[in-house]
Structure 1
Amino acid sequence: MMSTPSPRPLWQDLLHGALGFALVSLAAFSIWAFAGRFFAPFGGEVAMYAAIAGVFLGFSGLLLGRLAGSIGRFYQAFLPAFFLYAIVWCIAWFAFKNRTGEWLGAAAGSIIFTYVVMKILGSTRGWLLAAVTLFGLHSAGYFAGDWAMYDVWLSPDNLADLTKKDRAQAALMGKLSWGLFYGLGFGAGIGCVFHRARVGA
């Protein structure tokens, strides 16, 4: 059964998505920040990414469920969409492990995420524009996080003045900053996609 168009304005869904997903993202990136090294004997980077994806998959609906009208309906669309996005992004990253992989993962992941969500929610009208919007917001958040970590917290000028203990603290703050910016950008894009799906249904 298709849902009726929501009276919620786009800006409200963008804000809801950004703030809600930022909180989930901080929790997910905390795995990298606080426990990343513990995954070394248990699958390393792949296992860590799987754990991070698990946090996103498991907790996003608790904060973003209203975007789809209910938590159950949100998970119905979000779980397969984010799962496929995560797989595509990881394939691109592990294939290149550089900016090319990051951009390809963001582009392909945004397209797949948007189409799957909107298809499941009953309308693919305007899905390509929604995908482009998601790609832009996702990329803005992701690369803002990259900048915060490597050009602010872990910049050569900053590290030169820090002790070993302070460098570890700077790395932790850099990872959490990346999680915050990534969550804000991707979350705003998620809000846009779910809004477009509701309005078009």
Structure 2
Amino acid sequence: MLREEIMTNHQVNQPTLRHFIWMGSSRFCLAGGVVFATVAVGQGGLYQHLGVYGAYLFWTFLFMLLGGALFSSLIMGPNRLVRSYSLFGLGFFLYAAAWVAAYFTVRGLPGEALGSLLGPVLMALGFMMVLGTRQALSKIIAGLVIAHSLGYFLGRPLLGILGEQLGMICWGLIYGLGFGAGLGYALFMAQTPLAE
């Protein structure tokens, strides 16, 4: 029933891949900037009051909160906001769990690279569970891994170039632009008949 509603909605509104990528990129740029700004100005205090893992849990929750709100208009069908929060709640939690596990187990750049592979894969699987489809799963995984890695690793050098605070915020913006494009791509591919 929901799939039929989405198909009808698609035929009326004709969302485009370009629209989804643009909206995903611009909105997650905002989320990345906000979250990385809290890292830039509050990391020490968060580590002191919440511990390292508590701080990472706080940042994960912040991404889930912002992602659910900012991406709800890209969710097709009824109950967009609730479904968007379900999507980002599960998807981003799985992403963060995999990324943090890889980063703290392997450490350094190899840990970041492993997290950039495993995190988006688990996020894609979480998205598929919430959306109730396996449509275009391999394309979604590839899109998320590539977009995440581009945003993360293109932004990472800014930390050394611009200094800890400004560099961290700019890294968050670049991370958000890249990963957000992948998120928009994933949502389009998972919800539209064009992706089949």
Q: Name the TM-score class by shorter chain.
A: 0.7 to 0.9
Does 2:185 match 1:192? yes
In 2, distance between residues paired with 1:36 and 1:115? Answer: 30
**Residue pair 2:68, 2:87 contacting (<8 A) in 1 also:** no
Q: Deviations over 1:57-98 (max 9, x none)?
A: 112122111111322221122211110110110000000111
Name the counterpart of 1:77: 87
Of 139, 142, 166 in structure 2, the residue corresponding to residue 129 of structure 1 is: 139
Aligned equivalent of 1:94: 104
Partner of 1:164 in structure 2? none
1:34 to 2:41 alignment: yes
Percentage of pairs with the same residue: 28
The 3-state SS of whatever aligns with 2:135 is coil
Instruction: After TM superposition, give the deviation of residue 118 of structure 1 in Å.
Output: 2.3
Conserved 8 A contact 1:118-1:194: no
1:4 corresponds to 2:6: yes
Q: Is the 8 A contact 1:111 1:128 kept in 2?
A: no
Corresponding letter in the other structure for 1:148: L
CA distance in 1, matches of 2:41, 2:84: 29
Give the 3-state SS of the residue equivalent to 2:134 in structure 1. Answer: coil
Structure-2 change in CA distance of 1:43 and 1:62 (3 Å): closer
Aligned to 2:114: 104
- Report deviation, 1:123: 1.9
CA contact (8 A) 2:68 2:89 kept: no
Q: Is the 8 A contact 1:118 1:193 kept in 2?
A: no
Q: Is the 8 A contact 2:69 2:85 kept in 1?
A: no
Q: 3-state DSSP class of the match of 1:4?
A: helix
TM-score, normalization: structure 2? 0.88
| Residues 10-19 or 61-70, more deviating | 61-70
Tell me the residue number matched to 2:24: 17
Q: Unaligned stretches of 5+ in structure 1?
A: 154-169
Post-superposition CA distance 1:97-130 (Å, at most 9, x none):
1121111111111111112212321321211111
Moved more, 7-16 or 73-82: 73-82
For 1:173, the equivalent position in structure 2 comes to 166
